[in-house]
Chains A and B, each alone.
Chain A
């Protein structure tokens, strides 16, 4: 089990009951090390309220273009993306890219 803070910014909170921040304990059966890929599946199963909103979050099983993923305030591309192994206290943020101006 790993204890995390998960955030949905840039308006993305609409798909998770309009709550921007969650403190969660993530447990995956049969796995000791939980990575970001596991967390994404866990979010789909546990936090996204409506089935129709899953494709707001995912496209072809990965995070949809237009959403940035941050691991402890760092672009996940610098941290190994889905393979990053989560530790207690990690903050994982998802934010929509904004375009208005």
Chain B
């Protein structure tokens, strides 16, 4: 081996030694980097995997947006037809903290649309039932329940901890209260409603400069013109779609998609029939003279919490009790003296529910005619006889409806308009009859 060959071999050996050392150092460095990375990861690996499919959508701005959602909080008021579809999507999306306010309990008649609940949960608080589902769906989300009725007294304390409020309630009274409290606390409200096959959705008090519920609706509607789902009915998927749409708007708020510059007040109107449409109406901005969000506000926190703002009297309530006690009969008396009596005295039983209600279930030997049909008739007995043959001014007439409200209006009409002498309404209606006399009849 020559001198130069020996030197080469030495150099090669040296290079190999350095290579090994370098690779070892690299490994150590990687391990160090890796462990410090683990400490610095803003979410768990499970969360990366869980939210991956939404983080790679441009609109969410990836990890940055996901962290915004993780650090945000949303309060859902009402775990019913709108709350049920919105809650799992909020939890699924990884909103860090979700609050649910509802003091109602699950009823079988809710389940066709309130699909977060189920048959085994009838009788349970809706907010608790919802929480169970959300905890299973996403353990990274903290869920707080408030099994109370939202009121002037408790609303501020509950709202304070949340960034966005979802109004999933079902009365004008609750809607005014939620909007007023949110305006006072400077929080945006995603507000929706639905009935039958239609729904509406708006954002109120956006960035403390957008219109509030009172700006859109300064005067509450007459209580007689407000229909509930119980009364007017509702299709599950129609209210469901609107609830899901609320979450899309909530995500836009939390991700900062809406800005002072680009936000324009709107009302989305969804129709399920005859063709499905989602229309966007351009709406007015704040009302300068709005008592809640205008320049001279009177709907302050103090005025709300002290009860000075009285939502009951502002929105009013219906007064159905138009009849004297003599003009009414209890279901028990009705059963004893008419249905189950041996004296067989002739009488007419008028069921004044809408025909779809009547077709679901009704008592035998009844005539179905609605209050509006009675109103449309000319005020003559002969007219009434075209609908109810052989009825006369001296006939004994009993009137029944679902809960005993419309039957009072009909009783009054029969007396005043057709001059019938002996008309009485059945107190509490068909449902009371089913509850107290014959539970084997279908209630709906």
Show the binding face of A for B, using Cβ within 8 Å: 9-11, 20, 50, 52, 56, 59, 64-66, 68, 70, 73-75, 77-78, 93, 95-101
Contacts and interface: CB of A to CB of B under 8 A. Distances in A.
Contacts of B279: 73
Contact of A98 (B167, B199, B281, B372): B199
13 contacts: A52-B375, A65-B218, A70-B281, A73-B280, A74-B282, A75-B267, A97-B193, A98-B195, A98-B198, A99-B195, A99-B228, A101-B78, A101-B83
Interface string B75-108: 0001011110000000000000000000000000
Contacts of B376: 50, 52
Nearest to A49: B376
B217 A100 contact: no
Contacts of B228: 99-100
Contacts of B194: 98, 100-101
Nearest to B198: A10
A13 to B, nearest CB: 10
Interface of chain B, helix or strand or loop or mixed?
A: mixed
Nearest to B80: A101
B221 A100 contact: no
B376 to A, nearest CB: 6
B169 interface: yes
Given A10-B198, A99-B226, 7 more contacts: A11-B198, A11-B232, A50-B376, A97-B200, A98-B194, A101-B82, A101-B168
Interface string B161-197: 0000001111110010000000000000000111110
Contacts of B199: 98
A46 B418 CA distance: 29
Interface residues of B, number: 48
A39 B82 CA distance: 36
B35 interface: no
B253 interface: no
B225 A101 contact: no
A75 B80 contact: no
B260 interface: no
A93 B193 CA distance: 19
Contacts of A98: 193-195, 198-200
Contact of B193 (A65, A68, A99): A99
A11 to B, nearest CB: 6
A77 B216 CA distance: 10
B222 interface: yes
Nearest 10 CB-CB pairs, A to B?
A66-B221, A65-B219, A98-B193, A100-B195, A100-B229, A101-B170, A74-B282, A101-B82, A98-B195, A75-B283
A69 to B, nearest CB: 10
A49 B227 CA distance: 21
A94 to B, nearest CB: 12
Given A99-B171, A101-B81, A66 B271 contact: no
Nearest to B242: A101
